Amino acid sequence: DQGELKQAMKTFNRALESFDNLGLNPSHEVFSTLLEVHNVLADEGKYPEAEEALKEANDILDRMQGSARDMEA
């Protein structure tokens, strides 16, 4: 249902903002979920929104990789 998808996206975006506001590093699950969001939006033809989700996923991947490098040092 379209209404449920919109509500789920709002909730998910609030959760991402909370991660950022608290200075927490999102997990692999958040990254994977963003990729799924990208796929759903792209399938619906919502390409600008899909691109934004993909950019967010890339940002999270960069942060996760940076955290992993910091732990190795």
Check residue 51 and give its pLDDT: 95
Helix (H) and strand (E) counts in the chain: 3, 0
Q: For every one of its 73 residues, what pLDDT tens digit does the chain have, with 9 covering 90 and above?
A: 677 777 877 887 787 788 778 777 667 778 888 888 888 889 889 899 899 989 989 988 888 888 666 667 6
* pTM of the full structure: 0.66
42 burial via Cβ count (<10 Å: 0-12, 13-18, 19+): middle
